[in-house]
Amino acid sequence: MTHMSEKETGNKEKREDKIKLPEAFVDRMKRLLGDEYTEFAAAYDKERLYALRYNPLKSNREDFLKRIPFNLTPVAWCSEGFYYDKCANATDSADMQPGKHPFHEAGAYYIQEPSAMAAAEALEPKAGEKILDLCAAPGGKTTHIAGKMMGKGLIVSNEIVPDRARILSQNVERMGIPNVVVCNETPDRLARFFPMFFDRILVDAPCSGEGMFRKDETAIDMWSLENVEMCADRQLDILEHAAKMLKSGGVLVYSTCTFSPQENEGVISEFIRRHDEFVVEETKLETFFSQGEGKWIENPAEGIEHTMRLWPHKIAGEGHFIAKLRKADGLTPKPLQIKEQSTDGIKLCREFLEKELGISNQVRDELEQNGRFILFGEQIYLVPADMIPLKGIKVIRAGLHLGMNKKNRFEPAHALALYLSHGEIEKRYEMTKEETAKYLRGETFSCDTGLKGWMLLTTSGYSIGFGKAGGGQMKNHYPKGLRKLW
């Protein structure tokens, strides 16, 4: 089976020349791999594979497979992951391209490179924990972690580049995640706010990108031996700050998308030399991937063979490196106690949820138990219960955006609609395929004259946004910036 969409097949036909790898990179890989290099190099003549990961916050595996129109093949190391191909009986472009399907807009799945799914699997997040995704954009690993936590606990998802932090925030919203706080901070500033705070930390470090040469040929143009050295220094600096934020007994997963021993085994070994409270830990994923190579560096850390290398000529995916570290047990500071903020605006929000939308008791209780209502100007957020006070932190998204107060009335946020797929509410309208297409284009459509007021709009059971019914018309409240031209 070929895991390519029609568009992707077309891209293959347009490629006339083979990928030209940097000479210094080729020399190094030949030296490291020896006879195996021929097989490694041959992987660059093959097309990359495409995958998606279903969202457990929206549906379970069985339900997802019943609804999805694409041909899917499981990703061995990720229970939520599937390689995809276009539907054999597809009648329109949306069924051929997962990125253009309404289910994508509803957050039913996240399109992600299959090897990249391994990092969150190695982290093994648990519901109720406090977790940091330190280098998080565009959001693949944050959304993966969130699906495993099922809305319980706290995820702080950080990105240092403002534009990328906004994209991260948009993906968190699309997936209907209530317990993520998106920050736009440097690792050193973040470490001042969260000393020994997190149960688990993922550092998907900025790297030289060698593992992405087949996926993104611009990475080849940016590659140099000097850049490899610069990346290794930066990665060690990021790990230094991450170590300060991890609880004793906590887990730190370090990942890159490069083959460079200097950035992989070298960085981990140097970090452990500086921090003897950390050890390399085995993971359940080792059966799928190759061992780290201590022989490629000087003074490898004990247990370096338990780090993992993902080779594109050995697995169905791109090149990655993953190390799981455990911090020794010891004293952990007590968490800060935060009191709920009570305002008239928050009262309006609660009344809207219960009276106008008819939110179920179960969903209401989930909201009350898992967070606290906070007012930012006119905007109301449900901030995860374990989150520290936000003063002084550059926050892009402070948890679940519930809506805003407009002249003593409450208007719900798009993020709330995407979250509400978790439970039943009374005011729900299931759209037809034609109505869904109109809605995503920002158009109104006809509805029963008996319908009135705010409605949660769904497509094949997946919530996709809000509409407001009246006079036999469904007024469109799909955000203008998300509306489609197709």
Dump the DSSP string for 58-102. Answer: T--HHHHHHH--SEEEE-TT-TTEEEEE--TT--SHHHH-GGGSH
| Beta strands at 109-111 and 130-133: parallel, antiparallel or unpaired | unpaired
Check: CB of residue 22 under 8 Å from CB of residue 30.
no
Q: Torsion over CA of 266, 269, 271 and 274, rounded to 10 degrees?
A: -130
The interaxial angle of helices 225-245 and 265-274, nearest 10 deg, is 40
Half-sphere exposure of 311 (CA within 13 A, CB side): 16
Task: Please name the residues in contact with 420: beta carbons below 8 A apart, sequence gap of 6 or more.
Answer: 176, 357, 359, 363, 456, 463
- In angstroms, the CA 202 to CA 442 distance is 38
- In angstroms, the CA 153 to CA 151 distance is 7
CA angle 55, 110, 155 (to 5 degrees): 65
- In angstroms, the CA 162 to CA 185 distance is 9
Distances (CA, A) of 326 to 8, 272, 282: 41, 11, 10
| Beta strands at 462-470 and 473-476: parallel, antiparallel or unpaired | antiparallel
Half-sphere exposure of 482 (CA within 13 A, CB side): 22
- In angstroms, the CA 185 to CA 190 distance is 6
- In angstroms, the CA 22 to CA 287 distance is 31
Segment holding 439, helix H or strand E? helix 433-440
Told to judge if 257 belongs to the known catalytic residues of this protein, a careful annotator would answer yes
R_g of the chain, CA atoms, integer Å: 24
Dump the DSSP string for 230-248. Answer: HHHHHHHHHHHHHHHHEEE
Q: Which of 78, 183, 257, 447 is catalytic?
A: 257
Residue 353 is classified by DSSP as I
Give the burial class of 325: count Cβ atoms within 10 A of its Cβ; 0-12 exposed, 13-18 middle, 19 or more buried.
Answer: buried
Segment holding 182, helix H or strand E? strand 180-183
Sign (positive/negative) of CA torsion 402, 404, 409, 414?
negative
Residues recognised as catalytic: 257
